[in-house]
Amino acid sequence: MTSVLIVDDQELVRLGLRVLLEETVGLTRAGEAADGLAAVQEAIRARPDVVLMDIRMPGIDGLEATRRIVAHPDLAHTRVIVLTTFELDEYVFEALRHGASGFLLKNTPPADLVEAIRTVADGGALLAPTVTRTLIREFARQAPRRAAPHPRLELLTEREREVVALAAEGLNNQEIAERLVVSPATARTHVSRAMIKLGARDRAQLVVFAYQSGLA
Burial class (CB in 10 A: 0-12, 13-18, 19+), 129: middle
Whole-number Å distance between alpha carbons of 126 and 129: 7
pLDDT along the chain (216 residues), means of 10: 95 94 94 96 96 90 92 92 72 74 84 89 62 54 62 91 87 89 92 90 80 79
The fold adopted by the segment(s) 2-141 is Rossmann fold (3.40.50)
Whole-number Å distance between alpha carbons of 139 and 122: 26
Q: How far apart, in Å, do the first and last CA atoms of the chain sit?
A: 36
Work out the number of other CB atoms within 10 angstroms of the CB of residue 182: 15
pTM: 0.71
- CATH 1.10.10.10, the chain: domain bounds: 153-212
Residues 81-100 have pLDDT tens digits of: 988 876 555 666 677 777 88
Cβ–Cβ < 8 Å for 27, 99: no
Within the chain, residue ranges assigned H as helices are 11-22, 36-46, 62-71, 92-97, 110-121, 132-142, 158-168, 173-180, 184-198, 203-212
- CATH 3.40.50.2300, the chain: domain bounds: 2-141
What architecture is the 153-212 domain classified under in CATH? Orthogonal Bundle (1.10)
Whole-number Å distance between alpha carbons of 115 and 122: 11
From the CA atom positions of the chain, what is the Rg in Å?
17
